[in-house]
């Protein structure tokens, strides 16, 4: 049981490293199989990858067509465009967050699991009652960082979908940019929205600093 428990923890740590590595390189590999040309000067590499993958003749639609599923016009359908942004965000931040979880797992003392095993705890019980509680600071940190990052989301909305179709995928920061520099300027309104984002991010950061370093 002890070997099994240590093996589970080692598997979690190695999985974190594997996810961090694969999520950083797989999309670049997929890009090789897409024939969609993209202006390198107008798009950053992140947007370039996902625009290529989800283009009408991109890899995703090719796979769907191969398995007999109707292709999707990802950037002209509001529901589909939102999912493109969600998938892009998951890819972008999962590997980054895995590094924090890896650090948290490495700080857990093996003797805790040995004591739990002696008390008769199963590997699943050890994961639920030891690993997760000990990772609470890390979970809180990544949750708040992800939430704060989402509030400030701009690149994906501008470069991937341009806020469309319509304004279905326009984020708050993209809207602030539009009412400041694209449409008729409304600087007072834009400044008020910017302060709102600042306050929310500051509150979230204060919560993390207050309770993030406490362990039960």
Please write the tens of the pLDDT for every residue from 92-141.
888 889 999 999 998 888 899 999 999 898 989 999 999 999 998 889 88
pLDDT at 214: 56
Could you tell me the two tokens for 25? 């390189």
Per-residue tokens: 3:
């070997």
The CATH code of the domain that includes 184 is: 1.10.3720.10
Residue 125 C-alpha from the chain's centroid: 28
Decide if 156 is inside a domain: yes
pLDDT mean across residues, the chain: 79
Instruction: Please tell me the least confidently modeled range out of 28-37, 144-153, 188-197.
Output: 28-37
- The residues, ordered by sequence, that sit 6+ positions from 214 with a Cβ below 8 Å of its Cβ are 137
Q: For residue 1, what pLDDT is reported?
A: 44
CA-nearest of 112, 116, 106, 113 to 138 is 106
Per-residue confidence (pLDDT) for residue 213, from 0 to 100: 59
Q: Which residues contact 63 (CB under 8 A, 6 or more apart)?
A: none
Of 21 and 144, the structure prediction assigns the larger pLDDT to: 144
pLDDT of residue 155: 82
Residues 212, 216: Cα–Cα separation, whole Å: 11
Given a cut of 80, whether residue 41 has pLDDT beyond it is no
Number of domains present in the structure of the chain: 1
Answer yes or no: pTM beyond 0.75: no
Q: What is the mean pLDDT of residues 79-100?
A: 89
Asked, for residue 216, whether it belongs to a domain, the answer is no
Instruction: Name the band, by pLDDT with cuts 50, 70 and 90, for residue 64.
Output: very high
Domain that holds residue 206: 2-211
CA 45 to chain centre: 17
pLDDT for the residue 151: 84
Q: Is residue 111 part of a domain?
A: yes
Q: Taking residues 84-97, report their average pLDDT.
A: 88
Report if residue 194 sits inside a domain. yes
Residue 93 and residue 40: Cα distance in Å, rounded? Answer: 23
Output the pLDDT for position 5: 45
What average pLDDT does the segment 29-53 reach? 56
Does residue 162 lie within any of the structural domains?
yes
The C-alpha atoms of residue 205 and residue 198 are separated, in whole angstroms, by 10
Task: Tell whether the model's pLDDT for residue 85 goes beyond 80.
Answer: yes
Q: Identify the pLDDT of residue 6.
A: 43
Whether residue 39 is contained in a domain is answered as yes
Tokens of 119: 């008390």
């Amino acid at each position: 049981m002890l070997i099994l428990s240590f093996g589970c923890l080692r598997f979690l740590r190695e999985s974190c490293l594997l996810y961090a590595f694969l999520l950083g390189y797989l999309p670049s590999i997929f890009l090789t199989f897409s024939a969609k040309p993209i202006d390198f000067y107008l798009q950053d590499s992140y947007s370039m990858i996902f625009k290529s993958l989800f283009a009408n003749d991109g890899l995703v639609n090719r796979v769907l067509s191969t398995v007999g599923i109707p292709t999707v016009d990802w950037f002209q359908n509001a529901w589909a465009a939102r999912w493109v942004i969600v998938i892009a965000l998951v890819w972008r931040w999962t590997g980054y967050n895995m590094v924090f979880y890896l650090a948290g797992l490495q700080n857990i003392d093996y003797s805790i699991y040995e004591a739990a095993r002696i008390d008769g705890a199963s590997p699943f019980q050890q994961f639920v009652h030891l690993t997760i509680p000990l990772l609470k600071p890390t979970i809180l940190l990544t949750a708040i960082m992800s939430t704060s990052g989402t509030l400030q989301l701009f690149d994906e909305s501008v470069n991937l979908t341009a806020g469309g179709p319509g304004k279905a995928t326009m984020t708050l920061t993209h809207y602030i940019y539009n009412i400041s520099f694209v449409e008729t300027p409304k600087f007072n309104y834009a400044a008020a929205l910017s302060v709102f984002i600042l306050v929310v991010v500051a509150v979230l950061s204060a919560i993390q600093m207050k309770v993030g370093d406490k362990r039960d």
